[in-house]
Structure 1
Amino acid sequence: MPKQVAVLVAANVLNNRIAPRLGPLTSAAATALLVAMARRSGASWEDLGFHRGRRGAAVGGALAAGVVVAYTAGVALPATRRFFRDDRALGLTRARALEEALLQVPVGTVLLEEVGFRGVVYGTLARTRGAATATAVSSALFGLWHILPAIDMAEANPALGRLASGEGIEETIEEIVEEIRHPEEAPPPRPWKKHLDTARVVVGSVVATGVAGVVYCELRRRNGLLAPSLFHTATNSLGYAFARLAANLPDNDSQPRG
């Protein structure tokens, strides 16, 4: 297991800090290496979650449709629309956004995370320690895996940092709108507060993705790897489309961005 974790850590650093655009290549190579290591240790394809394809497709497809409904509702409501406006997505050209949604997310992110955490880590531990231990360890590692992305997310979406600092949704939106309408009255920047908000976003992200990992593990246990993979892909890839949609809709007191 330490060797598998080392492969995941190396891929995480490469994808998030050293060569993000090469994420699909890095993730594909890391995935192949992890599968080879697991197979060499005696794991079967079923142990790794490569089974129940039809059932996984049906369940994963239904969950992906649910993501569309949830995102549509979130963007439609002014109170939650702000949290879809991620500068990482809005700063991309249309071609780059398509690359992220159709290549970087499915191959650079979901492939490695699902096969790595729900396939190899879960499958290896489930064989010797049982499903409960496999779920706990896999989900904890999955949460920690998101530390670097969470730091980037906090910088790209300040609204999340404000929400994580304990401010309610209404207060957060009101403060942001006031800063836009009266920038001269905005309080001076406080670096320490930014760092504190970032830390809160990171902790919240680790906890949230750890909990998501438990859900993904249960989906994998019942339906194979395809179900959580489709759900995971929809959750991440559709974010790019809905970020652009949210950017072109008005807030309570503001105009569309155009």
Structure 2
Amino acid sequence: MDDPAAPRWPARATAGLCVVLLAWNTLVVPALPGRPASAVAANVAATGVLLAGARWSGLTWAELGLARRRLPAGARWGGACAALVLAAYGVALAVPALRPLLADARAGGLDGPAVAVRALVRVPLGTVLWEEVAFRGVLLAAACRLLPLRAAVALSCAVFGLWHVRPALGGLAANDLAGGPVATGAAVLLTVLWTAVAGLLFAWLRLRSGSLLAPVLLHLATNSLGVLAAAAATRGG
């Protein structure tokens, strides 16, 4: 990605990383006792382990999007995108016809402190940090050692989309939207496709800015502000 002369990774190592990531979100996290607090702690720990393994395997800070010299560019790109997200949520909340699009029973059922914990702790540490390091950091960097850039990006986006199968099922159940197998399957498929497209945008920001901070800021704004907007929209009817 940053160094065309970097050595190639074994294909099985990259494939193994994809399997581990999908298994983590599909099998490991749901089985953790004491969720959601335990899931946050586990994801933070997994982030550290994954970064340590990436560095031990030879991936550089620049390849991972964590070079200090690229932080200003990441802040500019990510900050601009986050501002657009904030404006979009503000418009949606201000227009009565759009407010129902933001409603989510998972946020509407929380009291003020619980909403704050989700927006300020669970999302930043348990979701954004882990997913950006895993997908736009380590997986993208590893795939770029093996594949052409476009193929590496496509791989990271595909795995990121599949990563959201379980959350999609959980969201449908929480909002009483789960129907028959066909309807549920279609909804999950749309979620996978949508998150894969979101992953493409995150990857573009990572590559354009040279910093993982850019997709982190956009992802954080989308999810954390989304929790606050959903709580406001749900309670406001």
Q: Does 1:42 pair with 2:29?
A: no
Q: Does the Cα contact within 8 Å between 2:105 and 2:234 map onto a contact in 1?
A: no
Structure label with greater radius of gyration: 1
- CA offset at residue 239 of structure 1? 1.3
Aligned pair in 2 of structure 1 residues 68, 86: CA closer, same or farther (>3 Å)? same
Q: Which runs of 5+ in 2 are unaligned?
A: 1-13
Q: Which runs of 5+ in 1 are unaligned?
A: 162-190, 250-256
Task: Please list, as runs of the form range in 1=range in 2, the aligned pairs for 1:85-164 lying within 5 A after superposition.
Answer: 85-158=103-176, 161=177
Task: Please list, as runs of the form range in 1=range in 2, the aligned pairs for 1:1-258 lying within 5 A after superposition.
Answer: 1-13=14-26, 14-16=28-30, 18=32, 19-51=35-67, 52-158=70-176, 161=177, 193-223=179-209, 224-249=211-236, 257=237
Q: Does the Cα contact within 8 Å between 1:15 and 1:21 map onto a contact in 2?
A: no
- CA offset at residue 6 of structure 1? 4.0
With CA pairs under 8 Å and 6+ residues apart, which has the higher RCO, 1 or 2?
Answer: 2
Letter in 2 for 1:228: P
Q: Does the Cα contact within 8 Å between 2:25 and 2:163 map onto a contact in 1?
A: yes
CA RMSD of aligned residues (A): 1.8
In the aligned structure 2, how far is the partner of 1:7 from the partner of 1:102? 27
- CA offset at residue 248 of structure 1? 4.1
In the aligned structure 1, how far is the partner of 2:185 from the partner of 2:115? 27
- What TM-score do the two structures reach when normalised by structure 2? 0.85
Q: Does the Cα contact within 8 Å between 1:11 and 1:27 map onto a contact in 2?
A: no
Count how many residue pairs are aligned between Structure 1 and Structure 2.
Answer: 218
Q: Does the Cα contact within 8 Å between 1:83 and 1:157 map onto a contact in 2?
A: no
- CA offset at residue 17 of structure 1? 5.2
- CA offset at residue 144 of structure 1? 0.1
Identity %: 41
SS at match of 1:45: coil
- Show CA shifts across 1:181-219 (max 9, x none): xxxxxxxxxx8x444432222111100000111111110
- CA offset at residue 92 of structure 1? 1.4
- What TM-score do the two structures reach when normalised by structure 1? 0.78
In the aligned structure 2, how far is the partner of 1:238 from the partner of 1:148? 22
